[in-house]
Chain A
Amino acid sequence: MHQGPNASVGGQRFMIWLAIAGAALFAFAYIAMIRFFPPPPADLPADQVALLYSAHNVRFRIGVILGLISGGFLVPISIVISVQMARLEKGVPIWAILQGVTGAIGSIFIWLPVLVWGVAAFSPDRPPELTLIFHEFSWLFYITTLALFPMQLLGIIYLCFSKDEPDNVSAFPRWLGYLTAWQLVQSFGGPMAVLFKTGLFSWNGLLPFWIPFSLFFAWFAAICWTLLRALRCQKAAGA
């Protein structure tokens, strides 16, 4: 068994729980405070869009603060995934680097839209059309994550499929590869939101929102679980 970087098991565990706590706080801020779940319809007229930000303005802005505190949760989990990937790679761990870099930059799709929601809510009395621009920018940014996430998933898929026997000490069982591959295939539905304002392909529709969000949630839970399980085994094995 080739041994990659020997990062501390405790440190990796801490980062996983940091990511889980961040995701939980983000979900609270997004669902309960910002209340963009389910998303507002993509064809909402400007005056109603402005109302989304001006009504309950203080609650909304506190939600933005909480969202910004927690919105980077993808970074620590990506680092741990990379460390675990590097364990299995030979030489320079290029798949681990690709995953870690795209995961860290990809977190921008989570926290930057929240910041723009804060900008939209910052001046509730500006003309509604101006708020609409920030609104549309932030939502399309939030939904079309295609530039980075597929590359992040690619390395994970590769590692899940590159080993013959499922290895208890590895965080990448075969089924995780298929789950990740499904997420990769479905991530192509997101950019359709640029073309449609109503129906299943708009940013509040099945393809750009509901399926990718459900799959991301399932994937995040799954990989946290496999990582923690692998770390437990690695600690027991004294690796």
Chain B
Amino acid sequence: MQPRIPGEPGIWLLIFGEMTVFAVLFASFLHARHGDVAGFLAGQAHLSKGIGIANTLLLLTSSLFVAKGVDMVKQGDSIHAPRLFAAGLACAAGFVLLKALEYAQLFAEGIAVGSHPFFGWYFALTALHLGHVLIGSLLLSALTLITRKPLTRPLHLALTESAGCFWHMVDLLWIVIFALIYLVE
């Protein structure tokens, strides 16, 4: 099969650029943790693992919906595509809600950015990621609206696939954040 670039070449500049920035952040997080393992473990104990797991599952599921939605767009199915993107968007909303709940729980315990370096990292990484979730949600909202009509122009197909790949990046970054913040011992 002839190789093809998903979306457009330009989106991969953005995606791998973002992923490299995040990789530096991940490495710096573990480096900071290396200097204070006990403190970071104590901080980790304050987090709700259940919320972390639920959020991971929500993003994985949204990625599935979005991947299927992009597939439907390629097949010219303007009935199912917007529904799939809307389902992905609903998962994203669930993610944001759970994240807000977790922040609220921590604030109720009197924990904030300055409480301990672990929480500085926790809030910085998750807030930065949350920003990406919100940008991605705007893209998914646009896809939900646009794909109600069959997309025929190659440009629109390429942009749809590019937006989908951005959303998968949001999912993929969270997978690593989840492992680093909630699971590493």
Contact = CB atoms under 8 A, between A and B. Distances in A.
Direct A–B contact in the complex, CB atoms closer than 8 angstroms: yes
B50 interface: no
Interface residues of A, number: 23
A13 interface: no
A177 to B, nearest CB: 7
A181 B159 contact: no
B153 A164 contact: yes
Given A188-B128, A188-B131, A178 B8 contact: yes
B154 A164 contact: yes
A206 interface: yes
A196 B113 contact: yes
B110 interface: no
A185 B24 CA distance: 17
Nearest to B136: A185
B17 A182 contact: yes
B28 interface: yes
Contacts of A206: 21, 24-25
A211 interface: yes
Interface in A150-176: 161, 163-164, 174-175
A175 B9 contact: yes
Given A161-B159, A164-B153, A200-B25, A177 B10 contact: yes
Contacts of A195: 113, 123-124
Contact of A178 (B10, B25, B131, B153): B10
B13 A175 contact: yes
Given A186-B21, A196-B120, A181 B14 contact: yes
A179 interface: yes
B128 A192 contact: yes
B113 A185 contact: no
A26 interface: no
- Chain B contact residues (Cβ within 8 angstroms of A): what range? 20 to 34
Contact of A196 (B9, B124, B135, B155): B124
Interface string B89-131: 0000000000000000000000001000000100110011001
- Give chain B's interface secondary structure class: helix
Contacts of B159: 161
A199 interface: yes
B36 interface: no
Contacts of B127: 192
B180 interface: no
A149 B76 CA distance: 37
B135 A185 contact: yes
Contacts of B113: 195-196
A200 B23 CA distance: 13
B18 interface: yes
Interface string B3-24: 0000011110110011001001
B74 interface: no
Most buried by A among B8, B10, B24: B10
Given A164-B155, A181-B14, A200-B124, 8 more contacts: A164-B153, A175-B10, A177-B10, A185-B18, A185-B132, A186-B21, A192-B127, A200-B25
13 contacts: A161-B159, A164-B154, A175-B13, A177-B10, A178-B11, A178-B14, A179-B10, A185-B135, A199-B32, A200-B24, A200-B124, A201-B124, A207-B128
Interface of B: 8-11, 13-14, 17-18, 21, 24-25, 28, 32, 113, 120, 123-124, 127-128, 131-132, 135, 153-155, 159
